Chains A and B, each alone.
Chain A
Amino acid sequence: DVKVTQSSRYLVKRTGEKVFLECVQDMDHENMFWYRQDPGLGLRLIYFSYDVKMKEKGDIPEGYSVSREKKERFSLILESASTNQTSMYLCASRSRGQKYNEQFFGPGTRLTVL
């Protein structure tokens, strides 16, 4: 079974702090994704990566950056956390090149910025 893990289930940070959210997958997937999910807004793509050191902006990249130094690990960085970044953050991975392959999600990190 594919396993996607995220570093924390719950996280509380203060405004202005630098925040790191980490995601690890164990299925050698090329593609990895970071989403945030807010009530009424659905899943919104922040960034995705299709290979090591490669990244693409999603729909809402402002205020975020990402890092992919190893194939299995994809990190989301909030350079200076703000209260409007309070949200559920979901990481996902997917095998590349096979259009029929689904995305697998991690358990999510609920981030609260005070």
Chain B
Amino acid sequence: QKEVEQNSGPLSVPEGAIASLNCTYSDRVSQSFFWYRQYSGKSPELIMSIYSNGDKEDGRFTAQLNKASQYVSLLIRDSQPSDSATYLCAASNTGNQFYFGTGTSLTVIP
């Protein structure tokens, strides 16, 4: 099993809907979790980080972490066409290692 796994999509949602992106992880990475957004041709930018079980909200974004089930998700409320991008899930352990999923492509349809 890879350290971090994501469904590659593509995921399409209508404008104004909730987009739900999911990620599972292995026992080898269990400390910190991150969501990056990457527009086509650009580098990844951090949008959310989460370390504790439960939900963390930042504007239209909510990250959810469930350590018992080993998954982390990102919800985007009131999706906008500008949210269309690839979303990368990442995780780290206590060492220097940092692991990325392969990304989920999201398209928000106007």
**A window 74-90: CB within 8 A of B:** 90
With A90-B43, A107-B43 known as contacts, the answer to whether A99 contacts B31 (CB < 8 A) is yes
Distance in angstroms from B28 CB to nearest chain A CB is: 14
Q: B46 near A48 (CB under 8 angstroms)? A: no
Chain B neighbourhood of A99, CB < 8 A: 31-32, 92-94
Per-residue CB proximity of B22-42 to A under 8 Å, as 1/0?
Answer: 000000000110100000011
Contact-residue bracket for chain B = 20 to 34
Q: B49 near A106 (CB under 8 angstroms)? A: no
Q: Which of A42, A50, A104 has its CB near the most chain B CB atoms (within 10 A)?
A: A42
Q: B49 near A43 (CB under 8 angstroms)? A: no
| A34 sits at the interface (CB 8 A) | no
| A105 sits at the interface (CB 8 A) | yes
Per-residue CB proximity of A32-59 to B under 8 Å, as 1/0?
Answer: 0100000011110000101000001000
Q: B46 near A108 (CB under 8 angstroms)? A: no
* Contact with B88, one of A40, A43, A96, A108 (Cβ below 8 angstroms): A43
Q: B90 near A103 (CB under 8 angstroms)? A: yes
| A102 sits at the interface (CB 8 A) | yes
Give bound CA distance, A108 to B39, whole Å: 12
Distance in angstroms from B48 CB to nearest chain A CB is: 10
Q: B98 near A100 (CB under 8 angstroms)? A: no
Q: B43 near A103 (CB under 8 angstroms)? A: no
Chain B neighbourhood of A50, CB < 8 A: 96
Give bound CA distance, A96 to B45, whole Å: 19
Chain A neighbourhood of B93, CB < 8 A: 99
Having A33-B98, A99-B93, A100-B49, one finds 16 other A-B pairs with CB under 8 Å, namely A31-B96, A42-B88, A43-B44, A90-B44, A96-B96, A99-B32, A99-B94, A100-B31, A100-B32, A100-B51, A102-B32, A102-B34, A103-B98, A106-B43, A107-B42, A108-B43
Which residues of A pack against B, CB within 8 Å? Answer: 31, 33, 40-43, 48, 50, 56, 90, 94, 96, 99-100, 102-108, 110
